């Protein structure tokens, strides 16, 4: 059983560019959450998708947007990249019932130069 997968593993972009990160959830999971983890910090919640809709959102600007497909996979898009967007982006999947744990992917390391 494949766990949560993310692509790409690493990415280098220039300020002002746009980036798309991808996530495939663990088999049987229907909910995908995205987190940003800056160096030396804990993960910060960006947003969560369920039934192809954004259900909850953290304190991130509109430059951060997402999408969930019918097969539950998800994308995170970031527009107008800033140097401060450099971080490890983690995708987590879970089943929608409250309290079920989230399973994390290995992350995508984004570097903005």
Partner 1 sequence: AQSVTQLGSHVSVSEGALVLLRCNYSSSVPPYLFWYVQYPNQGLQLLLKYTSAATLVKGINGFEAEFKKSETSFHLTKPSAHMSDAAEYFCAVSSSGGYQKVTFGTGTKLQVIP
The single residue among 7, 17, 41, 113 that binds partner 1, judged by CB under 8 A, is: 41
Contact between 57 and 40 under an 8 Å Cβ cutoff? The reply is no
Q: Among 12-20, 22-30, 70-78, 87-95, which window interacts with partner 1 (CB under 8 A)?
A: 87-95
Question: Does the footprint of partner 1 cover residue 44 (CB under 8 A)?
Answer: yes
Q: How far is CA 7 from CA 21, 32, 58, 73, in A?
A: 6, 15, 22, 12
The single residue among 55, 61, 79, 111 that binds partner 1, judged by CB under 8 A, is: 55
* Residue owning tokens 């430059």: 63
Q: Is 65 exposed, middle or buried (0-12, 13-18, 19+ CB in 10 A)?
A: middle
State which residue, 28 or 40, has the beta carbon closest to partner 1. 40
Q: Hey, which residues between 14 and 33 contact partner 1 (CB under 8 A)?
A: 31, 33
């Amino acid at each position: 059983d494949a766990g949560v997968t993310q692509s790409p593993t690493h990415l280098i972009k220039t300020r002002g560019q746009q980036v798309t990160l991808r996530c495939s959830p663990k088999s049987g999971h229907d909910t995908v959450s995205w987190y940003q983890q800056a160096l030396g910090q804990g993960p910060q919640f960006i947003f969560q998708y369920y039934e192809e809709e954004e259900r909850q959102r953290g304190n991130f600007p509109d430059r951060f947007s997402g999408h969930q497909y019918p097969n539950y996979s998800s994308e995170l898009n970031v527009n107008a990249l800033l140097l401060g967007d450099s971080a490890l982006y983690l995708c987590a999947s879970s089943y929608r019932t409250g309290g079920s744990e989230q399973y994390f992917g290995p992350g995508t390391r984004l570097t903005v130069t």
